[in-house]
């Protein structure tokens, strides 16, 4: 099996870069069946663009030109399955998420020029909003400091989620008005709780001061897609500080979600708001 994968991997890697490996394989199968080299060259150019030249060598590595009929279609189908698996792994791979303040914007632009577009990091706020929009059943938001201007960006996802019966857990520092610097948190909590629509709900777990030492910042949708990083949901976190985080999927997102929910279940002084 390892030998077969070795022969198919170059072709599968090229196919994984296409919008649809299945359509590309179907086009290649038709071209190969025709027996016309010109038709195969055209199919390679159409499906693989700049990778067309490398695809010839990849077809040879997979020994596809050596066989015909059912065996040829079988090898293409195997390459297609492997390409789809590579695409899925790429989609689930962690991706950096950065807050880029204005004074670093030029350096950021120059940095991106050094990377293929497929490897570009995300920026923090768009990444967080994309994750929130994915939630169908649960949304976890954890940050010591919140600002209503940015909490408001989550109002739509919270309203849609709770209206369909979903649940939001908000983990933040002191959410009541008293205490120095807590007014933005309290206003943000009121704003998000005010978006709750039955039959769903928004629950809040907060601690009364800085001494508890809960400092994580995270956003997780349905325990499957998440952000974990250094950025609070404030103007400093999403605009003015250089922050770094990562967008996670699958098992890693579930681990983040599970640990934060475990913390929120810890028996310390806390305030719950429904």
Give the pLDDT confidence score for residue 161 in this predicted structure.
Answer: 96
Task: Check: CB of residue 234 under 8 Å from CB of residue 147.
Answer: yes
Half-sphere exposure of 167 (CA within 13 A, CB side): 7
Share of the chain above pLDDT 90, in %: 57
The model's pTM is: 0.71
Task: Check: CB of residue 135 under 8 Å from CB of residue 219.
Answer: no
Cβ neighbourhood burial of 200 (10 Å; 0-12, 13-18, 19+): buried
Dist. CA 229–CA 92, nearest whole Å = 17
Mean pLDDT of the region 170-189: 75
In the chain, domain spans: 2-92, 95-264
Give the pLDDT confidence score for residue 197 in this predicted structure.
Answer: 92
Give the pLDDT confidence score for residue 273 in this predicted structure.
Answer: 46
Structure tokens that stand for 85 in this block:
């698996």
Strands (E), 68-166: 95-99, 122-123, 138-142
Comparison of pLDDT for 16 and 90, the residue scoring more? 16
Secondary structure element (H or E) that encloses residue 246, with its range = strand 243-249
Assign a CATH topology to domain 95-264.
Endonuclease; Chain A (3.30.870)
Mean pLDDT of the region 234-250: 93
Give me the phi and psi of 229, to 5 degrees please: -170, -160
Dist. CA 85–CA 92, nearest whole Å = 11
Among 95-99, 151-155, 173-177, which stretch is predicted with the lowest mean pLDDT? 173-177
Dist. CA 204–CA 273, nearest whole Å = 5
DSSP class of residue 118 equals: G
Residues 271, 145, 177: CA angle, nearest 5 degrees: 50
Dist. CA 32–CA 230, nearest whole Å = 52
Q: What's the length of the chain?
A: 274
Mean pLDDT, the chain, integer? 88
pLDDT for 228 beyond 70: yes
Secondary structure element (H or E) that encloses residue 247, with its range = strand 243-249
What pLDDT, in 10s, does the model give residues 116-130? Answer: 777 889 999 999 999
Confidence of residue 65 (pLDDT cuts 50, 70, 90): confident
Cβ neighbours of residue 114 closer than 8 Å, sequence gap 6 or more: none
First to last CA, the chain: 55
Strands (E), 143-241: 167-173, 201-207, 217-221, 225-229
Q: 10 Å Cβ neighbour count for 140?
A: 24
Q: 10 Å Cβ neighbour count for 166?
A: 23
Confidence of residue 64 (pLDDT cuts 50, 70, 90): confident
Comparison of pLDDT for 169 and 49, the residue scoring more? 169
Comparison of pLDDT for 183 and 147, the residue scoring more? 147
Mean pLDDT of the region 157-185: 82
């Amino acid at each position: 099996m390892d030998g077969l994968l070795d022969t198919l991997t170059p072709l599968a890697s090229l196919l994984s870069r296409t919008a649809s490996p299945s359509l590309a394989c179907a086009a290649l199968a038709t071209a190969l069946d025709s027996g016309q080299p010109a038709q195969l060259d055209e199919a390679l150019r159409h499906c693989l663009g700049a990778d067309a030249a490398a695809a010839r060598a990849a077809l040879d590595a997979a020994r596809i030109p050596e066989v015909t009929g059912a065996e040829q279609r079988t090898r293409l189908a195997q390459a297609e399955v492997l390409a789809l698996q590579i695409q899925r792994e790429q989609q689930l791979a962690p991706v950096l998420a950065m807050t880029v303040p204005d004074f670093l914007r030029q350096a950021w632009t120059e940095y991106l020029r050094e990377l293929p577009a497929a490897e570009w990091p995300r920026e923090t706020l768009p990444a967080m909003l994309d994750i929130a929009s994915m939630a169908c059943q649960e949304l976890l938001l954890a940050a010591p400091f919140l600002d209503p201007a940015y909490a408001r960006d989550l109002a739509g996802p919270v309203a849609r989620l709770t209206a369909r019966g979903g649940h939001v857990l908000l983990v933040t520092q002191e959410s009541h008005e008293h205490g120095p610097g807590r007014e933005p948190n309290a206003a943000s909590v009121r704003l998000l709780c005010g978006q709750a629509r039955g039959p769903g709900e928004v629950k809040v777990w907060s601690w009364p001061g800085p001494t508890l030492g809960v400092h994580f910042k995270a956003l997780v949708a349905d325990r499957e897609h998440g952000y974990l990083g250094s950025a609070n949901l404030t103007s400093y976190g999403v605009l003015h500080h250089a922050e770094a985080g990562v967008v996670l999927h699958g098992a890693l997102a579930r681990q983040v979600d599970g640990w934060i929910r475990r913390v929120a279940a810890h028996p310390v002084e806390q305030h719950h708001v429904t």
